[in-house]
Structure 1
Amino acid sequence: MDYLIEVFRQSAGLLFASAPYIIFGLVVSGLLRVFLNPNLVSRHLGHGRFSSVFKAAFLGIPIPLCSCSVLPAAVTLKKQGANNGATTAFLISTPESGVDSIAVSWALLDPIMAVARPVAAFAAASAAGIAENLFGSSRVEQPAKPDLSCPVDGCCTGEDCSPEEHRKHHTLLEKLRAGVRFAFGEVWGDMVGWFFIGLIIAGLVVALLPPDLLGKYLGGGIGSMLIMLAAGIPIYICATASTPIAAALILQGVSPGAALVFLLAGPATNITSLTVLFGVLGKRAAVIYLSVIAVSAVVFGLAVDAIYNALGLNGTALLGKAAEAFPLWIGWISAGALVIFSVKPLSAAIKAKFSKNSGEGSCSCHGCCSDHAPNRIMDHMPKNPH
Structure 2
Amino acid sequence: MTLPLAILDLALSAAPWLLLGLGLAGLIKALLDETRLKRWMGGRGLGSVARAAVIGAPLPLCSCGAIPTALALHRSGADRGPTTAFLIGTPGIGVDSLAITYALLGPFMALARAVSAVLTAIATGLLVGRTRGADAPPPASACDTGGCHSGCGDKGSSGLAPAPLSHRLGAGLRYAFTDILDDISRWLLVGLVVAGALIALVPPQQLAGLGSGPAAMLVMAVIGIPMYLCATAATPIAAGLLLAGVSPGTVLVFLVAAPVTSLATLGVFRREMGDRALVAYLAGILVSVLALGLGVDALADWWQLEISRQVEQVQELLPGWLEALALIVLLGLAVKPLRRGLAARLARPSARKA
Report deviation, 1:303: 0.8
Deviation per CA, 1:181-217: give whole Å up to 9, x if none: 0111111111111111101111111122122111111
| Contact 2:123–2:288, Cα closer than 8 Å, also in 1 | no
In structure 2, do the counterparts of structure 1 residues 222 and 44 end up closer, same or farther at CA, with 3 Å as the change threshold?
same
1:20 aligned onto 2:12:
no
Matched residue, 2:7: 11
Matched residue, 2:272: 280
How do 1:30-49 and structure 2 match up within 5 A?
Answer: 30-49=26-45
For 1:254 and 1:30, locate their aligned partners in 2 and report how far apart those are by CA, in whole Å. 34
Identity %: 40
For 1:110 and 1:76, locate their aligned partners in 2 and report how far apart those are by CA, in whole Å. 36
1:70 aligned onto 2:62:
no
Matched residue, 1:330: 322
Deviation per CA, 1:193-250: give whole Å up to 9, x if none: 11111011111111221221111111x2212212222222232211111111111111
In structure 2, do the counterparts of structure 1 residues 151 and 123 end up closer, same or farther at CA, with 3 Å as the change threshold?
closer
Deviation per CA, 1:283-338: give whole Å up to 9, x if none: 11211111111111111111111111111123333334313212212111111111
Report deviation, 1:251: 0.7
Matched residue, 1:206: 199
Aligned length: 322
How do 1:124-143 and structure 2 match up within 5 A?
Answer: 124-137=120-133
Matched residue, 2:227: 235
How do 1:252-331 and structure 2 match up within 5 A?
Answer: 252-331=244-323
The structure 2 residue matched to 1:174, chosen from 163, 167, 173, is: 167
| Gaps in structure 2 of 5+ consecutive residues | 136-153, 341-354
| Contact 1:20–1:335, Cα closer than 8 Å, also in 2 | yes
Q: Secondary structure at the match of 2:119?
A: helix
The TM-score with structure 1 as length reference comes to 0.78
In structure 2, do the counterparts of structure 1 residues 320 and 279 end up closer, same or farther at CA, with 3 Å as the change threshold?
farther
Q: Secondary structure at the match of 1:123?
A: helix
In structure 2, do the counterparts of structure 1 residues 127 and 345 end up closer, same or farther at CA, with 3 Å as the change threshold?
farther
For 1:29 and 1:307, locate their aligned partners in 2 and report how far apart those are by CA, in whole Å. 31
1:189 aligned onto 2:185:
no
| Contact 2:23–2:176, Cα closer than 8 Å, also in 1 | yes
Tell me which amino acid in the other structure corresponds to 1:191. I
Tell me which amino acid in the other structure corresponds to 1:53. V
Matched residue, 2:347: none
In structure 2, do the counterparts of structure 1 residues 123 and 270 end up closer, same or farther at CA, with 3 Å as the change threshold?
same
Deviation per CA, 1:16-51: give whole Å up to 9, x if none: 111111111111111111111122122221223222
Matched residue, 2:242: 250
In structure 2, do the counterparts of structure 1 residues 151 and 345 end up closer, same or farther at CA, with 3 Å as the change threshold?
farther
| Contact 1:261–1:301, Cα closer than 8 Å, also in 2 | yes
The TM-score with structure 2 as length reference comes to 0.84
Q: Secondary structure at the match of 1:194?
A: helix
In structure 2, do the counterparts of structure 1 residues 239 and 309 end up closer, same or farther at CA, with 3 Å as the change threshold?
same
| Contact 1:107–1:320, Cα closer than 8 Å, also in 2 | no
Tell me which amino acid in the other structure corresponds to 1:200. V
| Contact 2:221–2:257, Cα closer than 8 Å, also in 1 | yes
Which of the two has greater helix per residue?
Answer: 2
For 1:180 and 1:30, locate their aligned partners in 2 and report how far apart those are by CA, in whole Å. 4
Tell me which amino acid in the other structure corresponds to 2:264. T
Tell me which amino acid in the other structure corresponds to 2:316. E
| Gaps in structure 1 of 5+ consecutive residues | 140-148, 159-165, 349-386
Report deviation, 1:56: 0.6
For 1:78 and 1:104, locate their aligned partners in 2 and report how far apart those are by CA, in whole Å. 31
Tell me which amino acid in the other structure corresponds to 1:178. A
Tell me which amino acid in the other structure corresponds to 1:83. D
Deviation per CA, 1:249-306: give whole Å up to 9, x if none: 1111100110000001111233333223222221112111111111111111111111
1:117 aligned onto 2:113:
yes
